Amino acid sequence: MTTNHGSTSPEALTDRIETAIHQNVGRGMDAVFQATAGGLWRATAALAASSRPKIGLITGFFVPGADPPAAETDGPAGAALLALGFRRSGLQCRLATDTICASACRAAMVAAGVPDVLIDTAEPGRSVGGIIDLWRQDGIDWVISIERCGPAADGRSYNMRGSDISAYAAPLDRLFTAGPWRTIAIGDGGNEVGMGRVPRSLIAGHVPSGEAIGCVVPADFLITAGVSHWGAYAVLAALALQRPEWRTAMVAGLEPALDRAVVEAMVRDGPAVDGVSLRREATIDALGMETHQRVLAAVRELIPAPGTAAPASPAGAA
């Protein structure tokens, strides 16, 4: 990770974007943020180095205790923004989720303006071999998971409260690791696919219930954030910096009005719920959209307009 925060190189700007999303929202993730610093640059630089990547997205975190039981807003909303950026860049992408999360994912894609993104669905306890075959035949060479629950050391999947939700989660972690694709994971709480990239002891020692809930599935590249949705902002912004021909397309996914519309459509049409408040409301992790959009603004302002310099780093910025 670069330490020159006054630099306007893509790596330095990407590190500043990562700093903007590494905000502690009460999950004890500071130590994990430190351990994964530079992950955004490593992930996006590798993806940007691919000429025309074909991308598979994995998301969906069902909340059985919500009113009504439904997919949470975090995950599918960010996946839809990513899909928009990829599709407008001329890149192929498709998405996999649980059958019970599919309607929320579809609502997000429609609201994002990419209704034709293929959605592959899987059932808890059923093989994902058919989807693996489809993705291999389709030439998928990069897979990105965002806010996707994954198995802990005991093979069960847990929510942040330590409740076993395996009965509601298809084994999409097996799709994630099936290859031959490279993998990027975005997570915010230790229990998501990809968190096996960091030592179990780190999550166990700092995240509430971390010993029980910590996911053991690794990723080639791990991006952590205070809220996984912010990781989608960061990936779009970093790719805009690193592939100038993708800039306009990626920035399209960073429009505040679109961001809000996607979340509202999920809640209305999915339905979808807030995974923390357990209510059917247009919030993510019990934070209103105004909070998320402050992060969005901080990320977006680090993308220089074509032909201009990046904004100066604030004095004393870490």
Whole-Å CA distances, 40 to 37, 156, 162, 232, 236: 8, 28, 28, 11, 11
- Asked if residues 86 and 55 have their Cβ atoms less than 8 Å apart, the reply is yes
Strand, helix or coil at 54? coil
Q: Is 91 exposed, middle or buried (CB count within 10 Å of its CB: 0-12, 13-18, 19+)?
A: middle
Select the more confidently predicted residue: 5 or 221: 221
Pick the CATH number of 24-300 from 3.40.50.620, 3.40.640.10, 3.90.1640.20, 2.60.40.1180: 3.90.1640.20
Domain boundaries defined on the chain = 24-300
Give the pLDDT mean for 17-44: 98
pLDDT in tens, 104-125: 999 999 999 999 999 999 999 9
Whether 312 has a pLDDT exceeding 90, the answer reads no
Distance of CA 260 to the CA centre of its chain: 17
pLDDT in tens, 169-208: 999 999 999 999 999 999 999 999 999 999 999 999 999 9
End-to-end CA distance of the chain: 13
Structure-block tokens of residue 284: 């993510």
Q: What's residue 6's pLDDT?
A: 63
Q: What's residue 306's pLDDT?
A: 79
Q: What's residue 159's pLDDT?
A: 97
Whether 102 has a pLDDT exceeding 70, the answer reads yes
Whole-Å CA distances, 39 to 43, 125, 193: 6, 32, 15
Give the pLDDT mean for 51-72: 98
Q: What's residue 314's pLDDT?
A: 42
Q: What's residue 318's pLDDT?
A: 31
Give the pLDDT mean for 43-47: 99
